[in-house]
Amino acid sequence: MSSSSPDSSLSAPLHWKFSQVFGEKAPGEDVQNSDLISAIEFDKSGRHLAVGDRGGRVIIFESKEAEETNEQRSRIELEAVDFSSKAHRRPIYQYKAEFQSHEPEFDYLKSLEIEEKINRVRWCMTHGGSMFLLSANDKTVKLWKLKEHKVKQVKETDHSSAVHSENGLLAEASYISMQGKPTVPNGHDMEWTTNAVKNISPVQEAQAKISSLEDSVRASCRKVYAHAHDFNINSVSNNSDGETFISADDLRINLWNLDVKDQCFNIIDIKPSNMEDLTAVTMHVLLCPNFILALCSEVITSAEFHPSHCNLLAYSSSRGFIHLIDMRQSALCDKSATILQETEHQPGSKSFFTEIIASISDIKFVNDGQCILSRDFMNLKLWDIRKDSMPVKVFKVHEHLRPKVRLFPYEDKTL
């Protein structure tokens, strides 16, 4: 055993490694496109991990420690474990279940292929010991129920002839003694009113051993939410009320009830009245690279519900803005309660590429709901929803690329 103290294990750095597939791949080994990971999500307890891939599969992993304890623990208890000596070992997640969530489809009306790639997975509240999660591809959201079953395998042992003959004598004696008992009809045959004699004696039952107990997770699709998005779905988020969720594409956000699969409400719509205007703007940007992207219509890149207030949600845009919405204001939330955007300190610093890299790819509320994390091409920003002029903290991710971005000519498509 190692003689290092717990303090030394805390000081040991964690080595992070990027991988888009499961398992170790040798250099030069071909990787199937369907095996690439496209979505990942932990549940609130951190015990389970859901992973979606480009093949339309969802794989469930469970924490090894969670399997050993097999009990629900509060956040305070989990924090106590984190500071104990047992928490110094790195978390290990092991395979639990896998199921095919989506299949490739073809839209004959639009002559469009819909790939099976999983864009988002989201855990729902647990009910009756079953786990629920939402999975979405470009056009369809599905609600899945995961039920754990105990699989028992019984192994019969050989019985001695002495025991078998004794059991036969007892059964014959019992049958003779019950012939004088009254009988009642059961619809087809006559049946004894008292319990019948078992074919297997208690001695034989004791010799029937359960060889193994295995956990098996069975996945069943409970609801399919389809035909509500003209553009590709980029976000799915559960509400804290446990009854509703939102699905967002490039121009619209829909509100669903988990129990209603054929009806949703459009709460945010930034689609222009004339789609040709959006197409014309896009073509103008491609033909005239000096055109400022800020003049373009923005598109929705991510949407997220508040973790505790069911009336609040936030969505990010391609212009680098975060819109905070209060659904109590109106049925169509076309006006933002707050817009989080960074104030420009250098008015002349905007360019075509700086506008592109300002596009937010994803947002996430922190657990207390007071702050939002946003991710763009170059930075990870922490925002306080009570301070909309600038982020509280900026974590630079790809700072080594910034000088190259400034030197890129507009005609260069390397970016």
Residue type, 159: H
CA count, 13 A, side-chain hemisphere, 305: 23
The Cα–Cα gap between 362 and 81 comes to 31
154 forms bridges with which residues in the sheet? 210
Residue 299 counted as domain residue: yes
State phi, psi for 211 to the nearest 5 degrees: -75, -35
What is the pairing mode between strands 338-340 and 322-326? antiparallel
List, as one string, the DSSP characters of 84-111.
SGGGGSPP-EEEEEEEE----EEETTTT
Q: What is the DSSP letter of 331?
A: S
Which residue from 55, 42, 54, 221 is spatially nearest to 121, judged by alpha carbons?
42
Say if 296 falls within a structural domain: yes
User: Tokens standing for 267?
Assistant: 């709460």
Q: Is residue 324 part of a domain?
A: yes
| Number of domains observed in the structure of the chain | 1
The closest of 55, 60, 40 to 217, measured between CA atoms, is 60
Residue found under tokens 């049925």: 331
DSSP reduced 3-state for 363: strand
Q: Is residue 245 part of a domain?
A: yes
- Run of H or E residues at 210: strand 209-225
Q: Is the pTM higher than 0.75?
A: no
Kindly give the confidence (pLDDT) of every residue in the chain, 415 residues in length, as a single tens digit, with 9 standing for 90 and above: 444 444 444 556 667 777 888 877 777 778 888 899 999 999 998 999 999 999 999 999 998 876 555 555 566 666 666 655 454 567 788 999 999 999 999 988 888 899 999 999 999 998 888 999 999 999 999 999 999 877 666 665 555 544 444 555 555 555 555 555 555 555 444 444 444 444 555 545 544 565 556 678 899 999 999 999 999 999 999 999 999 999 999 999 999 999 999 999 999 999 887 766 565 444 433 334 333 333 446 899 999 999 999 999 999 999 899 999 999 988 888 777 899 998 764 555 566 677 778 899 999 999 999 999 999 988 999 999 999 889 999 999 888 887 776 655 554 555 5
Residue 197 lies in a domain: no
Read off the CATH number of the domain in which 392 is found.
2.130.10.10
3-class state of residue 370 by DSSP: coil
Residue 378 lies in a domain: yes
> Is residue 405 situated within a structural domain?
yes
128-186: pLDDT as tens digits: 889 999 999 999 999 999 998 776 666 655 555 444 445 555 555 555 555 555 555 55
**Nearest-5° Cα angle at 245, 243 to 246:** 160
Domain that holds residue 323: 228-415
Residue 41 zone, left/alpha/beta (φ > 0; ψ -120 to 50; rest): beta
CB 302 within 8 A of CB 361: yes
Residue 259 lies in a domain: yes
pLDDT tens digits, 58-87: 999 998 876 555 555 566 666 666 655 454
Residues 6+ apart with CB under 8 A from 79: none
CA–CA distance, 73 with 69 (Å, rounded to integer): 10
